[in-house]
């Protein structure tokens, strides 16, 4: 069930359900009660606050929320009915101030979220009598093995490290080549292709320019992957697709 922020709850329509919300109980007042034509009722006002804002809340017709929950993190969730609808929390509006309000009825699940977080065990009393030290555990038969690797194990480890270093160097070189290719495509489009099209009275906007760059990169990577030609320091030598040697 999605947890809404206070700002999201405020943005809801009046009478729209808010499935769940978790926030700091920044305000909590004593409940009030009375009787009307429908029977006894109770209301307890408060407020939820998080980094997105603060909203008034009204707990209605439910057990009193203890004052010890104030400034704690409280989580409220709707319950799902047999017909599939959700009830318990809905966006409301204060009749006097017309400000956004969350109405939380007896059908909602309300819990202090901090109660579910793991707690560290309590420290032992200072005057607790000291217990007799236990005998140290017997070392296992494998104790001491593997502390100093054998020469062949050390050599294998060094070879593995060297292989990893070479693979990392190859990866960095590949990233450098990709960056150079992207920069070259941008410069070709902006410095050559766009001015050439302007001379022909063809206007290119930013989106079309980006599409041209992307298309050029796709073509470049396709050619490199398809022909698998090797790279040289000052250029790229093409290898014919059929694998025949180049003519001298």
- Per-residue pLDDT reduced to its tens digit, 214-233: 887 787 766 665 544 444 44
Indicate whether 139 pLDDT > 60: no
Give the confidence band of 175 by pLDDT, cuts at 50, 70, 90.
confident
For the chain, strand residue ranges (E) read 20-28, 32-36, 39-50, 53-60, 73-77, 79-80, 86-87, 89-93, 100-104, 109-112
Q: Indicate the DSSP class of residue 94.
A: -
Instruction: Tell me which residue of 186, 185, 208 sits closest to 198, measured CA to CA.
Output: 208
Asked which of 41-50, 91-100, 161-170, 183-192 is least confident by mean pLDDT, the reply is 161-170
pLDDT band of 167, cuts 50, 70, 90: confident
Which residue ranges make up each domain of the chain?
A: 6-115, 151-227
CA–CA dist 213, 218 (Å, integer)? 9
Task: Please determine, for residue 101, whether its predicted confidence score (pLDDT) is greater than 50.
Answer: yes
Question: What does the pLDDT read at residue 160?
Answer: 63
* The pair of three-digit structure tokens given for residue 243, joined into one six-digit string: 């694998």
The helix, strand and coil proportions of the chain, stated in percent and rounded to the nearest 5, come to: 35, 25, 40
Question: Tokens in use for 95?
Answer: 């009749």
Give me the phi and psi of 192, to 5 degrees please.
-120, -55
Structural contact between residues 64 and 58, judged by C-beta atoms closer than 8 angstroms? no
Paired strand residues for 32: 43
**What percentage of the chain has pLDDT greater than the value 90?**
40
Q: Please provide the DSSP assignment of 108-137 as one string.
A: SEEEEGGGGS--PPPPPPTTPPPPPPPPPP
Closest residue by Cα to residue 91 from 73, 104, 78, 109:
104
CATH 2.40.50.140 for domain 6-115: yes
HSE-up of residue 216 (Cα within 13 Å, Cβ side) = 18
The per-residue pLDDT of the chain, averaged, comes to: 77
């Amino acid at each position: 069930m999605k947890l809404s922020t206070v700002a999201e709850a405020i943005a809801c329509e009046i009478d729209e359900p808010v499935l769940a919300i978790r926030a700091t109980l920044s305000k909590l007042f004593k409940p009030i009660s009375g009787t009307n034509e429908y029977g006894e009722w109770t209301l307890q006002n408060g407020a939820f606050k998080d980094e997105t804002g603060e909203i008034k809340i009204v707990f209605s017709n439910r057990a009193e929320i203890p004052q010890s929950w104030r400034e704690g993190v409280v989580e409220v969730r709707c319950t799902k009915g047999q017909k599939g609808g959700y009830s318990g929390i809905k966006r409301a509006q204060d009749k006097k101030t017309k400000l956004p309000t969350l109405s939380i009825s007896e059908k909602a699940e309300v819990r202090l979220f901090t109660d579910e977080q793991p707690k560290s065990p309590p420290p032992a009393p200072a005057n607790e009598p000291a217990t007799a030290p236990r005998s140290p555990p017997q070392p296992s038969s494998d104790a001491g093995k593997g502390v100093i690797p054998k020469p062949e194990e050390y050599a294998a480890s060094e070879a593995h490290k060297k292989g990893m270093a070479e693979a990392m160097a190859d990866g960095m070189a590949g990233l450098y080549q990709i960056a150079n290719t992207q920069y070259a495509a941008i410069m070709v489009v902006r410095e050559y292709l766009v001015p050439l099209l302007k001379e022909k009275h063809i206007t290119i906007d930013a989106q079309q320019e980006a599409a041209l760059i992307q298309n050029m990169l796709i073509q470049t990577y396709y050619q490199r992957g398809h022909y698998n030609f090797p790279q040289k320091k000052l250029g790229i030598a093409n290898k014919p697709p059929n694998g025949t040697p180049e003519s001298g």
